[in-house]
Amino acid sequence: MLVVENIQKHFDGFKAVNGACLSVETGEIVAVIGPNGAGKTTLFNLITGQLKPDGGKITFSDEDITFLPPHRICKKGIARSFQIANIFHRLTVFRNVQVSVLSQKTRNLNVFFPSDRFFVEETRAIMESVGLADKDREIAGALSHGDRRLLEIAVALGNEPRLLILDEPTAGMSPEETATTIQLIKRLADTRGLTILFCEHDMDVVFDVSHRIMVMEQGRTLIQGAPEEIKKNPEVQRAYLGNE
């Protein structure tokens, strides 16, 4: 589904992403791991078009998307959440999700037209799937950190993606919230048939949900493989898995 080849991004000569490679098959849950500053967020920004690469190639469903702008990449079926929550704080949970559904379904939306009755069912279905159905009237800015992160995933789902990219989905979450998020990721893959690419620092989460793992170091791909393969790799063990 997604192939990233030898991708490069330099900031004033600093090689934040320096030849990373990644492949994601349809239906897979793939994790990217690596220390802070390895280039994970930058890699995701390159895939979704927020950043333009200085070299390399990105292919999605056999189409070259390397230099497409973010909205075109989104229309092709890649949606993402951000490491820092990206929602309308003064709107309700329902409205946040509905706005994203509307933006996908309607092209010439008149912003002054009362749109609150549009796509109510679609919006509810998405809130249901992330477990926020009973909080639809709450103001987004008043949600707990964990619920805000779930809302962000709901907003990404409004774009009807085939590939969902999550940047540290459990960052800052309590153990309970983390467990809920793990279940959610598994459920989205199982019931919605979504392909999921995420980066994550919590190794328990990574080994619990991933079909394959890519390890990044200093902008490069150290290895990509099945969890057992990653666990056995001596370099990975030394760098990330301590004495395990």
Positions that interact with ligand ADP (CB under 6 A): 11, 14, 16, 34, 36-42
Gyration radius of the chain's alpha carbons: 18
Among Mg ion, ligand ADP, none, the one that 37 touches (CB under a kind-dependent 5 to 8 A) is ligand ADP
CA max distance for the chain:
60
Among Mg ion, ligand ADP, none, the one that 80 touches (CB under a kind-dependent 5 to 8 A) is none
Backbone φ and ψ for 162, nearest 5 degrees, come out as: -95, -35
Q: At what angle do helices 93-105 and 120-130 cross, to 10 degrees?
A: 120
Among Mg ion, ligand ADP, none, the one that 67 touches (CB under a kind-dependent 5 to 8 A) is none
Position among 30, 31, 34, 41 found at the interface with Mg ion (CB under 5 A): 41
Whole-number minimum distance, CB 170 to Mg ion, in Å?
13
Q: Looking at residue 84, what DSSP letter applies?
A: S
Among Mg ion, ligand ADP, none, the one that 36 touches (CB under a kind-dependent 5 to 8 A) is ligand ADP
Whole-number minimum distance, CB 41 to Mg ion, in Å?
3
Q: Which amino acid is at 51?
A: L
Stretch near Mg ion under the rule CB under 5 A, chosen from 1-9, 57-65, 76-84, 145-153: 76-84
Q: How many CB atoms lie within 10 A of CB 38?
A: 22
Instruction: State the sign of the Cα–Cα–Cα–Cα dihedral 62, 75, 125, 142.
Output: positive
Q: Which is nearer to ligand ADP, 37 or 172 (CB)?
A: 37
77-116 residues near Mg ion, rule: CB under 5 A: 83
Q: Which is nearer to Mg ion, 23 or 83 (CB)?
A: 83
Whole-number minimum distance, CB 90 to Mg ion, in Å?
27
Among Mg ion, ligand ADP, none, the one that 38 touches (CB under a kind-dependent 5 to 8 A) is ligand ADP
- Across-strand partners of 217? 220
How far is Cα 233 from Cα 227, in angstroms, rounded to an integer? Answer: 10
Whole-number minimum distance, CB 186 to ligand ADP, in Å?
23
How far is Cα 235 from Cα 153, in angstroms, rounded to an integer? Answer: 33
Q: What three-state secondary structure class fits 178?
A: helix
Among Mg ion, ligand ADP, none, the one that 162 touches (CB under a kind-dependent 5 to 8 A) is none
